[in-house]
Chains A and B, each alone.
Chain A
Amino acid sequence: MVHLRELQENYVDRIQIVFVYIREAGHETEGELKKVVAEEDRTQGQRHSSLRLAREGMKHYRLSFPCLLDDADETVSRLYRAFPMRLLLIDAEGKIALDSGLPLYGSVPWDKIRNWIAQSVPAPASLTNENKNPPNDRRQALSNGGVVED
């Protein structure tokens, strides 16, 4: 999630990050999320995913991009064979440019993702200096977690 936040901060004007919350894998969490997981385990037991955990997670990791919820049939998770995690870079034409596959042992190719963005998506000249400090309206839109449309 640290990598995601870093991508969000550095490439906010070059790419759109979309988080699809799929079935939870049951891995260890950190900080306040541990409490949430424990409460959800106590109250809901076996579950596909937790809406509350998704909300708290987005807040905890300070992720402001849109978060979509996969349905109980795991439609998107199955479509992309994503469980427990998968990252895909989709170019402006809607074609897959880079795919992590199913990362084994957490080996997500973050460097490849950064390199691809750096090489394939030129930073808008007028916005180069704004990457670290996005304008207020855009920051506001991002903080709402809504879909940002240009």
Chain B
Amino acid sequence: MGTLLYLDIPLIVLGMLALFAGSRPCFRRRSTSRSRKPRAPWVSVYLVLSGVACLIGAAIDMGFAERERRQKVALDEMLRASDDGTIAPMWPFPPGTPAPDFRLPTLKDGALVSLKTVRGSKPKPVLLVLSSFT
């Protein structure tokens, strides 16, 4: 939003003004002489092109800002979910994070076993391998 305020709005205003001025057949001077001086064609072309460039620049910048905002929202959601323990981050857990417990059946006999049970009465470190054979 900051980008929109500080860069895009001036660009849009400038672009609209340039387009408006470029599309006018001539400049109307404020002088009292009421004289109308025809404008050179290249000035109109320059103004129109400048206006279009300003509007395109503003649109691109707004697109980037929107993408950045969506990424930030997604990241915030992911971090919030990680804090809730709903979902783990893709990157490594920081050391010291309590390992989420779970209960799953064993391959051997189907008995339900939790991570705590696996660690045993005299807990020793566990290498938890989450994978498959394909």
Q: Which residues of A contact B (CB under 8 A)?
A: 1, 4, 7, 14-29, 33, 37, 49, 51, 53-58, 60-61, 66-71, 75-82, 84-102, 113, 117, 120-121, 144-150
| Contact assessment for A16 and B131 in the assembled complex, using a CB-CB cutoff below 8 Å | no
How many inter-chain residue pairs (CB < 8 Å) link A and B?
Answer: 200
Given known A-B contacts A16-B118, A68-B106, A84 and B131 have beta carbons under 8 A apart: yes
CB-based closest 3 A-B pairs: A57-B133, A82-B130, A99-B92
Q: Which residues of B contact A (CB under 8 A)?
A: 85, 87-100, 102, 104-109, 113, 115-134
| Residue in B closest to A99 when the chains form the complex, CB atoms | B92
| Residue in B closest to A23 when the chains form the complex, CB atoms | B132
| Contact assessment for A26 and B99 in the assembled complex, using a CB-CB cutoff below 8 Å | no
Contacting residues, chain B, for A89 (C-beta < 8 A): 125-128
Contact pick for B127, options A15, A28, A146, CB 8 Å: A15
| Residue in A closest to B95 when the chains form the complex, CB atoms | A97
Dominant SS among interface residues on chain B: loop
A–B complex contacts, Cβ < 8 Å, 26 sampled: A16-B125, A18-B118, A18-B128, A20-B104, A20-B130, A21-B107, A28-B134, A29-B133, A53-B133, A66-B107, A70-B104, A80-B130, A81-B87, A81-B88, A87-B128, A87-B130, A88-B93, A88-B130, A96-B99, A97-B95, A100-B92, A145-B108, A147-B106, A147-B113, A149-B121, A150-B120
Contacting residues, chain A, for B106 (C-beta < 8 A): 66-69, 145-147
